[in-house]
Chain A
Amino acid sequence: MHIKYESFIREPLVEGNKDYHQVSEDIVAPIEGKPGRMWYVGFFFSIILLCFGIFSVSWSVYWGLGTWGVNRTIGWGWDITNFVWWIGIGHAGTLISAILLLFRQGWRTGVNRAAEAMTIFAVMCAGQFPIWHMGRVWDGFFVLPYPNTRGPLWPNFDSPLLWDVFAISTYFTVSLLFWYSGLIPDFALIRDRAKTKLRKMLYGVASFGWTGTAKNWQRQEALALVLAGLSTPLVLSVHTIVSFDFATSVIPGWHTTIFPPYFVAGAVFSGFAMVNTLLVLTRKILHLEEYITIGHLEAMNKIIVLTGSIVGVAYLTELFIAWYSQSWGEMAAFQWRILGPYWWSYWAMMTCNVVSPQLFWVKKLRRNVPFTFVMSIVVNIGMWFERFVIIVTSTYRDWIPGSWSYYSPQWTEVGFYLGTFGLFFTCYFLFAKYFPVIAISEIKFVLKTSGRNFKEKMNHIEEMSAESFYHIAEASHHDDHDDTHGDDTHGTHDTHHKEEKTLVDSIMHPFNDEHLIEGATVVEHLLSPIVETKTETIEEVSHEVKQEEVITVAPIVTPVEEIPVVEAKEGTTETNFVVETDDTKVEEIKESTDEVVVKETTVDGGAEDRDLPSNSPIVDNTLPTTDTEKKGDDIAD
């Protein structure tokens, strides 16, 4: 059993007075209710934009790419600018879900779902540009390397443009899997709460028959870790390969070795800006301020100032090395970039990306919601200009002055870009309506360490001396880790025995206050902080367990007084317990509760907030122990 504690210095991740049930209620509310007027208005505009985009693209395909403003000198214009821009935005989702997961950043739970959705939609938008940029789009299959009838003609594997095809499709697939596997338990929760048949059926299908068994959770968490491992290199690889589109060339301004990591930093930068744009609106419209707190926005603003500064260092490095190289091509490229006819784009980029994010060094501004919103848009404008600067201002002053050119987009290109906004927001509006925008099960995972009401109860731990806390931690540690500790620690157990008993009690039961779990009884008083379980099934389960006589309850928390701990993930109508016996034999007792489903549809799928009967057999120490909250890798041990 892991002690639920975190330092008071950390801000709560969930505000207000919450229990598991309330979390489900709050996050599922938008799905179960009718959308507000704002939603319809927004959705309508998105559809209009999407239609205009489809029209513009159709026009370009029908009349050919001559309708675009690109020319022989400036072969890439808004199309590739927008492509890189959207791909960059897509990076925040994977960074949050993969890298922040590996770094154990608890705050990711509030924002990961929306960020991952954003990733998927952004990649969808990005993918449009290379596809329609082909011009003869019906030849698009040519990028696929399959045994063909074209003789020796294969896709050019030496070309980074082709690597892009593989990188982005892999990225899209993995992101989608990651996102969806996280959604499954939440879909099951919605299914179990559903009051209409249709909703029940649809979410039932979407949840792949999730029943919430320990096995389900174990597999789901193992999958999450594997996908996190796969996604981590993908965070780097995708934008690295996008940067190769430019950097493998010999064009001054494109060919520079810093491009790969600097593109990745820039992508994370713009991705977080877009997450901020979306979440500032989402939290307001869906009333989720208690889950996407100011602290969350501040954390993202910190990442913005960090990545913005990394990008700034890269800009200055590029500029400096262009001079340092003493290569006239490099020097000229940067001169034309900064002082040429496109000077405004360079300075827009510098101001938006490097200068203005520095304001986030000020804590007050990081925590200011309107300012965050404005900055998030400023950063995205800046990042758009970055790509424009790289693409257009590196090419418009060619080697031969006779081919020098200037480029302005035509309406078809603008329409195409607006159309991708339509696509993006259409998807996002649908997502916000039909999907839980916050990962419910993950919020529950951090609730008892990081929820405000739970943190308030940790004061007595803060006042405790480090030494006493250490003994308690050690005691609880010994039970589920086989790590060896020095002999000293064993010795101290005896001497501190009595003193510890009270400490252990107080530390393990800090949360047993009445208004959280109503009608507390003596049993509850002992168990309430760590028990969430299903009333109806407890008796039967423990009964069965007794009959089979497989159980020797592992000592849970304290070597002094063995309090069995029961934890069941809520969110489903099926109750399962894993029984851990001494020789770590795991038995699963499944309780199909079809009838209960019918009974419970009017309440909440999760019965976590229900009372325990005072005559529950919990009183004797025969209750099975579950520890579904352990991370997957621990279970894998």
Chain B
Amino acid sequence: MNDRFVIPGRLKNMSRAFISIGVLTLIMGIIFFLTKNNNIDKTRFWAVLLQDSVFFTMITAVSIFIQAAANLAHGSWIVAYRRVPEAIGANVWVFGTIASVILLIIVFVFRVGPEHVNPIYEWVTPGNDKILNGKSAFLNQGMYLGFTLVTVALWSYFGRKFRSMSIAQQSAPKNDTKIFWKVFRLSGLFLLVYALTQMSTAPWLWIMSIQAHWYSTLFSWYTFASSFVSGMSLILLWVVYLKNQGNLELVTKEHMHDLGKFMFAFSIFWTYLWFSQYMLIWYANIPDETVYFKLRQQGPYSIIFYSNFIINFFMPILILMARPSKRNYFTVTFMAMIIIFGHWLDFYQMIMPGPLGSDWQIGFYEIGIFIGFAGVLIYCVSKTLAKTNLIPENNLFLKETMIHIS
């Protein structure tokens, strides 16, 4: 069975246009923000780049995670479209590299004001702050550099490895299980890596340390949930797109239903973690902890705080609850876009209140940079998708996925 994806001219042009918009925005950002002698503008320039690069790295890394999880659980439901998460996962290195460059510039180079302080990561220039100095064994530039590079390197490796192994299976002898079990072991290993990066250290360093005084044990799991649900939505968008192009013949509504269920269930899971974190901090009412939500809920970010909750909880639960809506291409596509936007907003409100305070705005720069990243994603993933047969021939679950019932 052969199913090749030929990148349509329109998609190619669109991705190029998006990338151009992104580059243009970046140049405008440099002109309008970076060269100005205004600390807020400079901070905004970097913080937005940080938000988008981390967001895209994390949501693309979800594709590696879901492959590993499905490999370990012997999931056949994903096989019909597994080239999609493979292609996204194989491009994590692109976003990882961009993110590393941005993060390291922020940590090592970016300083403002006469005192040369780092307005995004306070702990880089802690001064006499007793608490920040106490944390310096973890919050220091060396640790940051090490964890960032190791995380990105490992994710990039696994993302590419899973894809190449899956393609190797295509030319392996029929029903050969050697690669299958090798991937199985690698998947176990990846979960370990993922637990020590996405589920713990990476969000601590990249995001939580922005408000370096504040802490929450749940924070990394919360960030994971946010990334996971948007990562699954991203996979869905690609599947729908390919389906519309006449590819992915094996994908039926049963498979779409599965992805819909993932978006539905993990939106609620995200809400569960959101609620756990919020409610416990609210209930105990310890000033060290409530400072985080005070700024977001009662301060200048309240609009984002509430939209976050409405978009990411009320919309999915109400719209995706019914079975027919999860089997309707329009509804799931619409919801996938909403969810990705919602969690982009979630990342926004995790990152911005610390450095920007009340001076936040979502203007041409925020939107332009997001479009730029989306352009890179479309460009890279479509290129990877076009390289191989979209049907994972010789996959041991290929026949099961053909008769899959959601």
Contact = CB atoms under 8 A, between A and B. Distances in A.
Given A324-B135, A361-B188, A486-B246, A257 B216 contact: yes
A314 B220 CA distance: 11
A318 B1 contact: no
The 6 A-B pairs with the shortest beta carbon distances in the complex, nearest first, are A258-B217, A257-B218, A260-B276, A326-B134, A248-B283, A473-B402
27 contacts: A2-B405, A5-B400, A7-B396, A8-B175, A9-B74, A10-B74, A103-B73, A256-B218, A257-B277, A258-B221, A259-B276, A260-B272, A260-B273, A310-B195, A320-B200, A321-B215, A321-B216, A321-B217, A324-B135, A324-B138, A325-B215, A326-B135, A466-B398, A466-B402, A485-B249, A485-B252, A634-B405
Interface string A474-497: 001100010101101100000000
Contacts of B398: 466
Contact of B405 (A236, A488, A631): A631
A259 to B, nearest CB: 7
A316 B188 CA distance: 20
Interface of B: 1, 72-74, 76, 130-131, 134-135, 138, 174-175, 177, 180, 188, 191-192, 195-196, 199-200, 204, 215-221, 246, 249-250, 252-254, 261, 268, 272-273, 276-277, 280-281, 283-284, 286, 288, 323, 391, 393-394, 396-400, 402-403, 405
Interface in A251-267: 255-261
Contact of A257 (B131, B135, B217, B399): B217
B217 A256 contact: yes
A461 interface: yes
Main SS class of interface, B: helix
Given A5-B403, A9-B397, A248-B283, A313 B195 contact: yes
B200 A462 contact: no
Contacts of A489: 249
A327 B221 CA distance: 22
Contacts of A466: 1, 391, 393-394, 398-399, 402
Contact of B195 (A2, A309, A327, A477): A309
Nearest to B402: A473
B276 A249 contact: no
A324 B402 CA distance: 50
Interface in A436-475: 461-463, 466-467, 469-470, 473
B280 A7 contact: no
B54 to A, nearest CB: 20
A470 B250 contact: yes
A477 B283 CA distance: 53
Given A9-B74, A313-B199, A257 B281 contact: yes
Given A325-B215, A470-B250, A259 B280 contact: yes
A247 B249 CA distance: 50
A412 B12 CA distance: 75
B213 to A, nearest CB: 9
A317 interface: yes
A236 B180 CA distance: 33
A6 interface: yes
A325 B288 contact: yes
Interface of A: 2-3, 5-10, 102-103, 233, 236, 240, 244, 247-250, 255-261, 302, 306, 309-310, 313-314, 316-318, 320-321, 324-327, 361, 461-463, 466-467, 469-470, 473, 476-477, 481, 483, 485-486, 488-489, 631, 633-634
A306 B194 CA distance: 13
Nearest to A306: B191
A249 B273 CA distance: 18
Contacts of A261: 218, 221, 272-273, 276
Contact of A317 (B177, B200, B252, B277): B200
Contacts of A488: 249
A181 B285 CA distance: 44
Given A260-B276, A261-B276, A467-B1, 17 more contacts: A7-B396, A9-B180, A240-B272, A248-B283, A257-B277, A258-B216, A259-B280, A260-B280, A302-B72, A310-B195, A318-B217, A324-B204, A324-B215, A326-B130, A361-B188, A466-B393, A466-B399
A317 B246 contact: no
Nearest to A260: B276
Nearest to B196: A313
B83 to A, nearest CB: 15
A7 B393 contact: no
A294 B184 CA distance: 19
A248 B402 contact: no
Contact of B286 (A250, A302, A462): A250
B403 A3 contact: yes
A593 B402 CA distance: 41
A139 to B, nearest CB: 26
A172 to B, nearest CB: 22
A486 B195 contact: no
B402 A257 contact: no
Given A361-B188, A633-B323, A313 B215 contact: no
Contact of A9 (B220, B391, B396): B396
Nearest to A633: B323
A102 B323 CA distance: 13
Contacts of B219: 257
B129 to A, nearest CB: 10
Contact of B276 (A10, A240, A317, A633): A240
Nearest to B215: A325
Contacts of A249: 284
B27 to A, nearest CB: 39
Contacts of A6: 400
A250 B195 contact: no
Nearest to B278: A257
Contacts of A233: 268
Nearest to B327: A483
Contacts of A476: 403
A324 B205 CA distance: 12
A273 B191 CA distance: 22
A115 B277 CA distance: 31
Contact of B272 (A8, A236, A257, A477): A236
B77 to A, nearest CB: 8
B399 A7 contact: yes
A327 B130 CA distance: 11
Contacts of B288: 325, 327
Nearest to B217: A258
A504 B394 CA distance: 21
Contacts of B323: 633
Contacts of B273: 260-261
B280 A462 contact: no
Contacts of A257: 216-219, 276-277, 280-281
Contacts of A102: 261
Given A248-B283, A317-B217, A483-B253, A469 B177 contact: no
A361 B185 CA distance: 9
A469 B177 CA distance: 20
A470 B1 contact: yes
A113 to B, nearest CB: 22
A415 B114 CA distance: 70
A318 B246 CA distance: 50
Nearest to B286: A250
A2 B286 CA distance: 58
A8 B400 CA distance: 10
Contact of A248 (B246, B249, B284): B284
A253 B19 CA distance: 49
Nearest to B137: A323
A2 B246 CA distance: 25
Contacts of B402: 466, 469-470, 473
B264 to A, nearest CB: 11
Contacts of A314: 217
B280 A248 contact: yes
A610 to B, nearest CB: 30
B215 A9 contact: no
A463 to B, nearest CB: 8
Nearest to A256: B217
Contacts of B76: 7
